[in-house]
Amino acid sequence: MDEVRDHDGTCARILARWTASAGARSELLARIVEETKDDARPAIESALFVVEMGRGADPLSLELHEAAAMWTLLGRHLATHATTATAALDYADSILRALDAEGFWVDASVRASLIAVFTEGYVLAREEQARESAESEQLAALVPRTIGEGIELLVLTGPYDAGRLAEALEEWVRDVFRRGTRVVVIDVLGARNLAAVERAIREACLVLVSLGVEIIVAGEARDLPREAHLVSSFDEALSAALSAREISNLAFARVKRLFRRA
């Protein structure tokens, strides 16, 4: 029990020193530390265990592996805060400095390992955020356009997450039914990760077929329902769609000028 109290007391002192030193270094660091100090405690405790147990020299030690996991998670968590990579590294270094200042010197090899996994966690989380943001923007731009009476055009560019695209296409199919659309053109000529989303496209097409909607797909999509009409160009798709609705040649030319690719 005394050991637990001593350990908790040590962690509390390290946290207090860390918080105080952060305030002295910069307002940004002080703000981030204040927002994340509870989340950082497991990482601090794990580093403290490595020092106390003297296991820093053993790369296979359980304590060092646990510390690496905690510091990776802390890096990922910090990526959710509006901060730069430089500020993130300053944040990690400030924790180790607080340990040093309390008499728990972190060996250079351990320090390098913890900073490395912290940085990896931070960078991976930031990359995931950027990818999710790009996918969200692409999905937001996934807006069908009416190109004739009862005819809709949906252009897929991507990249998309397969699951999120499937949800978006399900919603679109419901809207197609509500609007009474009879012909749809799905343009996948510019889709950047077509192989990853072909299943979502196929499932949407299967439902459209069951609704009696004529489907024209421009591009190289595979595994489509046999009822879908696959064409190789956007102009072919427009021509087939407008012909299916018996649109006049004059209307076809006008729509083609509006929607043809540059």
Q: What is the pLDDT of residues 136-170, one digit of tens each?
A: 777 777 888 988 888 999 998 877 888 888 888 99
Class of domain 141-259: alpha beta
Selection from 15, 57, 43, 172 nearest residue 114 by Cα: 43
With residues binned 3-state (H G I as helix, E B as strand, rest as coil), the percentages for the chain, rounded to 5, are: 65, 10, 25
User: Average pLDDT for residues 171-181, to the nearest whole number?
Assistant: 92
**How far is residue 116's CA from residue 65's CA, in Å, rounded to a whole number?**
13
User: Average pLDDT for residues 102-131, to the nearest whole number?
Assistant: 91
Total count of residues recorded for the chain: 262
Asked whether residue 88 carries a pLDDT value surpassing 50, the answer given is yes
Please classify residue 171 by burial: count the beta carbons closer than 10 Å to its beta carbon, then call 0-12 exposed, 13-18 middle and 19+ buried: exposed
Return residue ranges of the chain for CATH 3.30.750.24: 141-259
SS3 state of residue 39? helix
Q: How confident is the model at residue 197 (pLDDT cuts 50, 70, 90)?
A: confident
Instruction: Answer for the pair 141, 172: CB distance below 8 angstroms, yes or no.
Output: no
Least confident of 75-79, 184-188, 241-245: 241-245
Tell which wins on pLDDT, 186 or 255.
Answer: 186
